[in-house]
Structure 1
Amino acid sequence: MLFDTILRNARIAGREHELVDIGVRDGRIAVVSPPSDQATQDAARDITLDGRLVIPGFVETHIHLDKSCILDRCTCHTGTLQEAIETVAAAKLTFTEEDIYARGRRTLEKAIVQGTTRMRAHVEVDPRIGLKGFRALSRLKRDYAWAVDIQVCVFPQEGLLNDPGCDELLVEACDGGADLIGGCPYTDSDPCGQIARIFDLGKRYDIDIDFHLDFDLDPSWMHLDEVCRQTAKFGKGGRVAIGHVTKLSALDHAALELIGIKLANAGVAVTVLPATDLFLMGRGAEHSVPRGVTPVHRLLRQGVTCSLATNNVLNPFTPLGDCSLLRMANLYANIAQLGRPDELQACMDMVTFLPAKLMNLGDYGIAVGNPADIVVLDCVDPISAVSELAQPLLAMKRGRISFSRPAAAINWPVATPSSVKDDVRVSSFAGEKPLARPLRRPL
């Protein structure tokens, strides 16, 4: 049987104690079999992975491509959420469609080389920016479909019911093919009214919903309850997500458990944005500064679908970032003080399989018949991927290699004792570039 590509001696997440060959044909995974099996003998491209881990790619559920890379246009002094909203709102007045496309492209390419193969991008729609961002992201979605699948989520950042003309623009964007709709109730004069209107539009267009929600540290009141109520009313369980919800970081474990049960029963998923939430929350504290990052690993125990995501990159909301979801998982593990194997596995799941579930991606996974969306990590298991920030070395999107890089090489001095170098050899990678070292650590 002739394949377009064979990946040999790979480890699949969840089955990392065995080696397999993966045969790819016509953009899909055709065979997953033991090494040297007769089913995977011939291919146009033959790549040996030396036991490295393969995953179906990282899944980004919450990123703002439209307002990334604008630090040079903003002057911030307090680092608060309100300042970020106001500063970006002012900068947004100068945005053009081409400007948004160019900055979005820069950020998107960062995500691609970090191994992201699926993405939900949130884009602002209001009377000041109009549909410039939506049009730019729609172009990026089309132009980069060879490397990443993008869902475009339109939402009103600066209010809806208190912003005349915004509703009409959201409707126009939905008519124009927006994949889903979001909201930002905490900036509206009538938060519950905005939530109700977003659910109305979600029903009209039969699209999923994703809110920015409860973004402060006062747990005495929440809009989360109204979102759960509306989710049940409209029968949207499994199709609604909420992002940030930093209020939950201020709850004790018993109260958080009750919220988790409510979210799980309603079918509302939760996305935490570790970098942004950590950067913006607790600005008023002079000591014992709260982290402001909701411990979503605890919500997993109640059956809530949870993800970790990037949110903003190089702007006043988050003046840092390289679009690495693996780095986000590692950051969350540090913040939440997670270190056991099962905890680190959960962190990996929250940037892969769980966000795929949140986005209702039925074809995600290394399995026969699925799209050949495959990322090779320079490690042997998900635990070391998170704990050691393993480098993505290669990605395939529907069977086509979207990027590759060689593994780092140690350049030994000539006088190095041979006993040190005995197990160092050079092998091929991606059919062309040398892979400087095989992985030595056995499982």
Structure 2
Amino acid sequence: MARDNSIASLANLAAGQSFALTGGTIIHDDGTQSISDIIVGADGRFVVVEPFLNTISCSACVDISGMLVSPGFVDAHQHLDKTGVLRFTPNPSGTLQGAREAFAKYARTAGPDDIYKRATRTVERCLSRGTTAIRSHINVDKDAGFDGIETLAGIRDGAKDRITLQLVAFMTPHPGQDFDWLGQNIDGAVALADAVGGTPAVSEDPPRYLDILFSAAVKAGKPVDLHLDEHLNASVHLIDAALDRVERFGMQGRTVFSHVSVLSALPRRKFESIVERILALDVGVVTLPAANLYLQGRDYEMLPPRGLTRVAELHRAGITIATASDNIQDPFVPTGSGDMLEIARWTLLAGHLRGDELAAAHRMITTAPARLMGLGKDYGLRAGARADFVVTDCLDTDTLIAGGPDQAFVFSRGRLVSETTTALMRVENSRLKEDA
């Protein structure tokens, strides 16, 4: 009965008022858990998170004993300009290059209205599943122009009270790339964005391309987030070249390498030397299991590889590693629901984490990506942070990741934005009924 009352009360919390949640189990930044009370202010920020609070001054108080409170989920790598275009962009080969070509063709005709409708739908779906922050890479090139980055900048600014949205100016290389065009347009794109990105492996002149990206980031005072070596060819990789520029441009702690699939193909000694440099330069890593499982290894006749980077080894080495959706229902990844718990499970299974590392998978969709996105004190279950959190009927972090909740309440900026309940229908056994 107490649980039923708690659920009804959570669903009836009014927006714009202070409230308290008492007796819930909260997940701390370090992964530990404890029973605590939470007070959320009328401004949508946590006032205090401590046990045995005096809640008499709150407009409402809900006992959530037996429920689990997680910080909002963070998707550190999406492509909201590409989302939902699957039926318009066939990719018969199922390869990365096939996906690039399919979207490039579509991007020439996709206008701002089309991008806005698809992106906002995906943002709302992600939010309903507990994602309260997203970093999205947006193509800026001769096909897409500035339509994507300008449209997403409008969505970011208009939805800031509902979701934290960061944009990466994804300066996409072209065959026969015009470096003059890149040089003329990168500053304008970066001005609209929150970070600078690109994919060096596709560039015809990777060193020159990397220099342009890092120079623009330093000039604008913004971080770098690269699609790096999304392939399995051990004889060709740009990780050392990228790390050289992190050091030369002073971008330690402000650089993320996404994908780095090639690390799984490198000899162990070389991999270990790269890990040492990544740690020393405080570079973060994002793995994208859905895309790498789907796109990589299709040309292998025997024992096709998983296509991911060395997830488990990077985690155990102490590198900050997050996992993310990448693409949702487009030629790069034809599936996807915006559910980061689903992505965490894929990461645990495909990344060879162990059953006793479920909490690590939770950190990969919460505190790790929050650190890589620089959310700082604005994130987490702590006083002063945005009240972005998820309340579920799970017992602990392990059960949250392993199977997910039957009941979940998503709060963004202290407002309830989604309530999900799995209804179990009880059907009487007709045979037993007849026998009675």
TM-score normalised according to structure 2 size: 0.89
Aligned match for 1:408, one of 381, 406, 422:
422
Aligned match for 1:150, one of 150, 165, 181:
165
Aligned match for 1:46, one of 61, 79, 86:
61
1:140 is paired with a residue of what secondary structure?
A: helix
Instruction: Report the counterpart of residue 360 of structure 1 in structure 2.
Output: 374
Q: Closer, same or farther in 2 for the Cα pair 1:217/1:4, shift >3 Å?
A: same
Instruction: Report the counterpart of residue 345 of structure 1 in structure 2.
Output: 359
The C-alpha deviation readout for 1:423-442, integer Å capped at 9, x for no partner, is xxxxxxxxxxxxxxxxxxxx
CA distance in 2, matches of 1:76, 1:217: 20
Do residues 138 (structure 1) and 118 (structure 2) align?
Answer: no
Aligned match for 2:49, one of 32, 56, 64:
32
Q: Closer, same or farther in 2 for the Cα pair 1:161/1:389, shift >3 Å?
A: farther
2:302 is paired with a residue of what secondary structure?
A: coil
CA distance in 2, matches of 1:119, 1:51: 29
Instruction: Report the counterpart of residue 214 of structure 1 in structure 2.
Output: 229
TM-score normalised according to structure 1 size: 0.87
Q: Closer, same or farther in 2 for the Cα pair 1:38/1:133, shift >3 Å?
A: closer
Within 5 Å, which residues of 2 pair with 1:43-122? 43-122=58-137
Post-superposition shift, 1:284? 0.2
CA distance in 2, matches of 1:311, 1:213: 14
RMSD of aligned alpha carbons: 2.2
Contact 1:160 1:194 (8 Å CA) reproduced = no
Aligned match for 1:7, one of 7, 21, 25:
21
Contact 1:371 1:398 (8 Å CA) reproduced = yes
Q: Closer, same or farther in 2 for the Cα pair 1:40/1:3, shift >3 Å?
A: farther
Contact 2:55 2:61 (8 Å CA) reproduced = no
Q: Which amino acid aligns with 1:27?
A: G
Instruction: Report the counterpart of residue 144 of structure 2 in structure 1.
Output: 129
Do residues 181 (structure 1) and 196 (structure 2) align?
Answer: yes
CA distance in 2, matches of 1:253, 1:93: 43
CA distance in 2, matches of 1:296, 1:259: 14
Q: Which amino acid aligns with 1:283?
A: R
Instruction: Report the counterpart of residue 165 of structure 1 in structure 2.
Output: 181
Q: Which amino acid aligns with 2:22?
A: R
CA distance in 2, matches of 1:412, 1:50: 26
1:117 is paired with a residue of what secondary structure?
A: strand
Identity %: 33
Q: How many residues align?
A: 410
The C-alpha deviation readout for 1:180-235, integer Å capped at 9, x for no partner, is 11011112110111111101101110100001111111122311111111111111
Post-superposition shift, 1:340? 2.9
Q: Closer, same or farther in 2 for the Cα pair 1:5/1:162, shift >3 Å?
A: same
Within 5 Å, which residues of 2 pair with 1:226-265? 226-265=241-280
Q: Which amino acid aligns with 1:345?
A: A
Q: Which amino acid aligns with 1:294?
A: T
Q: Which amino acid aligns with 1:332?
A: T
Q: Closer, same or farther in 2 for the Cα pair 1:6/1:392, shift >3 Å?
A: same
CA distance in 1, matches of 2:244, 2:55: 52
Unaligned runs of 5+ in 2: 1-15, 431-436
2:337 is paired with a residue of what secondary structure?
A: coil
Q: Closer, same or farther in 2 for the Cα pair 1:392/1:314, shift >3 Å?
A: farther
CA distance in 2, matches of 1:98, 1:358: 31
Q: Closer, same or farther in 2 for the Cα pair 1:253/1:12, shift >3 Å?
A: farther
Post-superposition shift, 1:286? 2.2
Contact 1:330 1:389 (8 Å CA) reproduced = no
2:18 is paired with a residue of what secondary structure?
A: strand
The C-alpha deviation readout for 1:245-265, integer Å capped at 9, x for no partner, is 110122354443322111111
CA distance in 2, matches of 1:38, 1:339: 37
Q: Which amino acid aligns with 1:31?
A: V
Q: Closer, same or farther in 2 for the Cα pair 1:185/1:391, shift >3 Å?
A: farther
1:229 is paired with a residue of what secondary structure?
A: helix
Post-superposition shift, 1:293? 0.7
Post-superposition shift, 1:337? 3.2
Q: Closer, same or farther in 2 for the Cα pair 1:415/1:300, shift >3 Å?
A: closer
CA distance in 2, matches of 1:50, 1:403: 20
